[in-house]
Structure 1
């Protein structure tokens, strides 16, 4: 009996040695420290920290303009005072109207050219004393009428906006944001808004405010605000719904953190990774009071002087949950 036990111990010793060797060479290990969403304490080796490019920053006081989250729709900029074209527009009807307007522009321009030829001929005949002054004056009046009709046709076509076939090729698009009539006064109309695709985790792109023809929805009690975004890379589509952060005139005080430090889980929770000691990191829930293009103001969850991860936060998130990045 003692001989069998001794043999079992000898057989288990190599396996224990391999396990210890594997644990010692692991670049990261996890340690349970709480129960909220199974929080783990991450411990990285210096080599893993260097490979992931982990960078931290000390949390300090800051202030930022208050932003209000809402939604918007990508629309086509108006031509010369017309209403911007969006997804709810009947594109077939607009295309038909544009074709008719193009034909009218061509017809009135042709009439203006004929009237100009007639006027030149009448002027030449008067100069050669072979025509009457009255005929020249009538030709001048006909030319002015034809030019006025051509100008009206051109303006009507401009009101219909760019061709339907080129809606997705515009270098600049507008974002239409419907704001409650009671909240319009709170929006800082001279400041830029932030626009991002629905579900995107980045801060978004800046959108400058533009003046557009007044539009509103009386039944819903909303007023439309418009912002212009750059579309030279054709990242946006007409009718696309987007998330918009509208600037509010008030300033928010709190702890400032870079936008790259903030992580969002599938439930919408917001987190940062705090460095508790060298090479040790803990995921910590935060509450964001305001966000901007450069960072966010934290109202709860952090203390002044704490160090949080800026570069490499997503890699730590993947390390904690076993997802490769």
Structure 2
């Protein structure tokens, strides 16, 4: 006896055959095109990981010892996940003794003595950095004047002038940073603490972004240098793409890449990532080298650590079967289909696999043969008629 009995074997083609009347074809305004073979660049999928660029994550420490509290005018204590603007007040730090705290505990007195020493040493260091930066600026001005004089006398080069100008700009930036540090330390002076005249020190967001975590709570006493919170800006992310070292010579690493989800499902608006210069990294055990790309993330759709599929271009072109992307229908299970037009009134649904989408064309790795006539406008309406949800 047979292990199974089937009343009638139905092929996929007969199951998916649709017949439309002349009026229905006219009302749906169906348009068609043929599957064509085109010479197109090739792509190869690789796994990718979203990472934060350098400087996108900052840890903000306490400049002096004190007590943390919520700033006046802020409704609640900053919580992880909150979005903040640049220079937005997040915390207030009461440096040990303030009008709100007129009596010091023995432990706080020790902290005050340590803080005085720390601030005094920091002031000396900051003053030395300012003087050093001023000397560097003066030296850079002299070097620039010399380079300009030599270039004017036809002895030097324009490149030497540009290099001298760049060195002067760097020295000036260093001087500005040193002066800003010295100003901050001067404002954090503990003079008058014994009289209870210290004002709260505002701790603001150093950049616009999202609070990743907070290390303190309201009323907590912290020492100088202890981390207060972490802030990140993920509007731009890096993609780290490990590539087998043997594949590297065959890839065009200077071209932008398409980025899809882990299932490599393409859409007409898939993300584009651009190659960037980055320190060389590799994984010896996997015989892989890392390529880095930059992708815009203005809506926060991508997250650091998220896994994606990167479609890296392969050198050289090859013949590929293509169909307009508007002809492809995707079902609820992610299956990809097109409707082949057999004649004026008969259509049949065919399964396809889209490798990637470029300039409105879907490149097929599986599907009907080139020359097949498919529906490019009205495919969704035919699908509605087939499955019974059309009007």
Q: 2:242 aligns with which of 178, 186, 190?
A: 178
Q: Secondary structure at the match of 1:277?
A: coil
Match of 2:358 in 1: 293
Match of 2:16 among 16, 20, 40: 40
Pick one of 267, 277, 280 that aligns with 1:202: 267
1: distance between equivalents of 2:62 and 2:288? 32
1:12-39 CA-partner distances (Å, limit 9, x unpaired): xxxxxxxxxxxxxxxxxxxx99613874
Q: Deviations over 1:37-64 (max 9, x none)?
A: 8741112345655665643222223121
Aligned to 2:326, the other structure's residue is in SS state helix
Pairing of 1:218-233 with structure 2 (within 5 A):
218-233=284-299
Cα separation, 2, equivalents of 1:148 and 1:315 = 65
Distance in 1, matches of 2:273 and 2:302, equals 13
Q: Which of the numbers 21, 45, 49 marks the counterpart of 1:73? A: 49
Task: Determine the structure 1 residue equivalent to 2:79.
Answer: none
- CA deviation string 1:301-322 (max 9, x = no partner): 4334322122343444454345
Greater helix proportion: 1
TM-score, normalised to structure 2, is 0.50
> In 2 relative to 1, CA 190–48 (structure 1 residues): closer, same or farther, beyond 3 Å?
farther
| Alignment match, 2:211 | 165
Counterpart in the other structure of 1:99 = 60
With over 3 angstroms needed to count, the CA separation of the structure-2 counterparts of 1:54 and 1:196, relative to structure 1, is: farther
Distance 1:53 1:228 in 2: 42
CA RMSD of aligned residues (A): 4.5
Aligned length: 244
Structure 1 residues 72 and 296, CA gap change in structure 2 (3 angstroms): same
Give the TM-score taking structure 1 as reference length.
0.58
Q: Does the alignment pair 1:240 with 2:286?
A: no
Matched residue SS, 2:301: coil
CA gap of 1:303–1:197, structure 2 versus 1, over 3 A, is: closer
**Most deviating of 216-225 and 255-264:** 255-264
Task: Say which SS state the counterpart of residue 185 (structure 1) adopts.
Answer: helix
Whether the 8 Å CA contact 2:266–2:356 is kept in 1: the answer is no
In the alignment, the residues of structure 1 paired with residue 261 and residue 315 of structure 2 have an alpha-carbon distance, to the nearest angstrom, of: 24
Change (3 A) 1:184 1:162: farther
Change beyond 3 A, Cα 1:252–1:276:
same
* Residue of structure 2 in register with 1:273 after alignment: 339
Q: How many angstroms does 1:249 deviate by?
A: 0.9
C-alpha contact 2:266 2:357 (8 A) present in aligned 1? no
Is this contact kept in 2: 1:173–1:231, CA < 8 A? Answer: yes
- SS state at 2:53 partner: coil
